[in-house]
Amino acid sequence: MNAPLILLDFDGTIVDSLPSIVHATQRTFVERGLAAPEREDVRLALHDGRGLEFYLSRLAPGLSPEEPEMEDFITHWRDIYAREAHGLTRPFPGAREALESLHARGAVLAVVSNKNEPALIEALARMGLDDLFAAVAGQTPDRPKKPDPAPFVQTIAPLVQDFDPGRVLMVGDSEADLLFGRAIGARACFAAYGYGDPKVCAALADTVVDDVTGIPMP
């Protein structure tokens, strides 16, 4: 019998990365001669989960996601994140136990994130979570990001072939996650403990959880 499949976002769903993101963002802005954004402004700018270029453009007036300078901005941000900030990220309390329980009950687990894929894989390994997932899809230059269904179609589905297509759940804290879930025909679960806009995301979701330990079986 094919197994249920649970797809999970990473930042704001499995782990609390806000301290890391705030640190990397404030340091990057200061080093580029810009005023450092406040913590709450950083959190609000993360709301739709569409990727670094959109997030940074909300905090840097006059810098659009398409501008050539954005690539250098992102490289600068990622360098600071890797050197100084990644260690500030922690799994949400109870995350590993919740994921282990879902796995023990027969679910296949996979991560689908708009986070840079090498950094995503490194973070999962560093936190001892990599053994829980049958597949991982992060952001790569040759693949569209969520909410485009490409991460599922091109990466997850070929790697996880024995799942029940009628029992797929996408869990995430942003509009991009929930729209992605709908695009692949999955049920969408809003992780309301993350960084997304509660009203917008709740309206897109089939179910809402207030804690990582509340993630249901599909």
Predicted confidence (pLDDT) at residue 169 exceeds the cutoff of 70: yes
Cβ atoms of 134 and 157 closer than 8 Å: no
pLDDT at residue 34, rounded to an integer: 94
pTM: 0.93
Q: What is the mean pLDDT of residues 139-153?
A: 95
165 by Cβ neighbours in 10 Å (0-12 / 13-18 / 19+) ranks as exposed
pLDDT at residue 10, rounded to an integer: 98
202 by Cβ neighbours in 10 Å (0-12 / 13-18 / 19+) ranks as middle
Dist. CA 114–CA 108, nearest whole Å:
20
Predicted confidence (pLDDT) at residue 1 exceeds the cutoff of 80: no
Of 103, 92, 82, 74, the C-alpha closest to 12 is 92
Length of the chain: 218
Residue 110 binned pLDDT confidence (cut-offs 50, 70, 90): very high
* Domain range annotation of the chain: 3-16+91-214, 18-88
Cβ atoms of 10 and 113 closer than 8 Å: yes
Cβ atoms of 8 and 172 closer than 8 Å: yes
CA distances from 174 to 11, 13, 83, 216 (A): 10, 9, 27, 18
Of 163, 164, 82, 72, the C-alpha closest to 115 is 82
Select from 3.40.50.1000, 1.20.1070.10, 1.10.1060.10, 3.40.640.10 the CATH code of 3-16+91-214. Answer: 3.40.50.1000
